Structure 1
Amino acid sequence: MSDVIPTQSASRDIPWDAGRWSNRPVSTRVSEDGTLYVMAAEGSDAWRHTSYGFVHDTEHALLVSFISGTSMEVEFGTPFEEQFDQAGIFVRVSAEHWVKAGIEFTDGTPHIGAVVTDGRSDWSATPVPGWSGRPVTMRISWADDALTVRARCSEGPWKLVRVAPFDAWEGVTAGPFVCAPTRSGLEVPFCRWSVGEADRSLH
C-alpha cells in the first residue's frame, strides 16, 4: 500500500434519502449534525464461494447510480470489536459481480482492503492497527476499465488500496455499506457521502 494524493475535483454531497438499500438494516437514524447511524443485522455479509464455500448476499448497502468517469467517497466511523465487523463502499452490478472496499476487523486488528467478486470472491487486506476507532474515508474512482480504491484515516494522506479490472458499463450502483457477520449490535456512523470526477491519474 503506497501513499498517493488523488487529483482533487469539485464534489457534491449525496443525501442519505437518495439511496436504496440492497438489504434493509435493523435500524437507521440521522443525528442533528446529519450523521447517519446504521445498525447491521447479525449474520449480514457479502461473499461468493472462494475458500469458505458459501454465498452471502445480505450486506446493508445504500446505493445510487454510479457511472464511469466519476468517483465516490464515504466517510465513516470504525467502532469495530468483533470478528469481521466491516464498513465502507459497495459497488454493485449484480449478485455475482460487485466490489466492497473498506475497513474490516479481522483476528483482533482492523484491516483495510477490498473484495472483488466476479462469480467468485477475491479478498485483499492489510492491517492498519493505528486506524482503530478513528474516522476513515474510502474513495473509489471509476475510469475506463478499472476501479481505483483509495483510503485515508482522519485527515491523513491518501493510500492506494487496490486497482481492479471492471468491465461493467451500465446499471452500476454504489454507496456506503455495513456488515456484521458474527454478532448483533454493530452500529456504524456515516458522516459524509459524495460524488465527483474520477481521479485523473493513478499516482
Structure 2
Amino acid sequence: MDAQRAVDWSEAAWLNPPLSAELHGDELLVTSRNRSDFWRTTSYGFVRDNGHALLTDLPAGAAVEVTFLAQFEALYDQAGIMIRVDDRTWIKAGVEMTDGAPHLGAVVTRGQSDWSLTPAPGWNGCKITVRASREKDAVTIRARREDEAWQMVRLAPLAPDATASAGPFFCSPQREGLQVQFTRFALGPADISLHNPQA
C-alpha cells in the first residue's frame, strides 16, 4: 500500500476508553477493562459493545493498517483492527486467544455477529500487522506476523456510501488487564487488487 500516512494517536477518538493508555515515544501502551468485548447476539444471546477502539475516519477508497504486540493469555483475549459504522454494523479482525491457542480471525456484524477463525501457532507475543482495505462495496482484511507474507483473513461487505471509522481495537472478555503495545497506526489508499497486495 503506497503513500501511507502515520496517524497521530491524538487524531483518533476512543470508543470506550481503556483502563489506561500511555504514550511511549511513538507507541501506545494500553490496558483493558474487565470483561470488555464487542459481540452481538449470535449463539451466546447477549450484546456487548464495551470493548476498546481508537477510531478515525475511513472513507471509501482508503485502507487502515495497525501493528501491535501482545501476550494473549486468557480465553478471548484479542487485538487488531475495527471498522465501525454503528453498534449494529462493524468488523473486528486480528488475533484472538481461543481453545488455548492464538487464532487469526474476524467478526463481521450486520445486526448479528459472524465469527471466523484459523489457528495461528507462533503468533503470540510477535509483532502483528492487520490491514483493512475499503474499496467499492467491500472491506478486504489481511494480516501478517513480523515481515512474513500477508495472509487473507476476510472479505466482507460494506456499503459504499456508509460513513465508517477505523483503527486499533482490543478486548478481554474474561478478565481485566490485557496489555497491548500498538506500535503503528497508518492510513493510505485502498489496495488496487484483491490478491497479491503490495507490501
Output the TM-score relative to the length of structure 2: 0.96
Q: Is the 8 A contact 2:136 2:160 kept in 1?
A: no
Give the match for residue 25 of structure 1: 18
Q: Spell out structure 1 runs of 4+ moving beyond 4 A.
A: none
In 2, the alpha carbon distance for the partners of 1:103 and 1:47 equals 15
In 2, the alpha carbon distance for the partners of 1:42 and 1:36 equals 19
Give the match for residue 143 of structure 1: 135
Q: 1:57 aligns with which of 42, 49, 59?
A: 49
Task: Give identity over the alignment, percent.
Answer: 49
In 1, the alpha carbon distance for the partners of 2:3 and 2:64 equals 12
Q: Deviations over 1:150-191 (max 9, x none)?
A: 000001000111111112524211110010100111110000
**What is the correspondence of 1:98-137 to structure 2 with a 5 Å cutoff?**
98-137=90-129
Q: C-alpha displacement at 1:128, in angstroms?
A: 0.5
**Which AA in structure 2 matches 1:93?**
V
Structure 1: unaligned runs, 5 residues or longer: 1-7
Give the match for residue 4 of structure 1: none
Aligned residue for 2:122, secondary structure, equals helix
Q: Is the 8 A contact 1:93 1:168 kept in 2?
A: no
**Which AA in structure 1 matches 2:22?**
R
**What is the correspondence of 1:37-186 to structure 2 with a 5 Å cutoff?**
37-167=29-159, 169-186=161-178
Structure 2: unaligned runs, 5 residues or longer: none
Q: Is the 8 A contact 2:70 2:179 kept in 1?
A: no
What root-mean-square deviation, in Å, do the aligned CA atoms of Structure 1 and Structure 2 show? 0.9
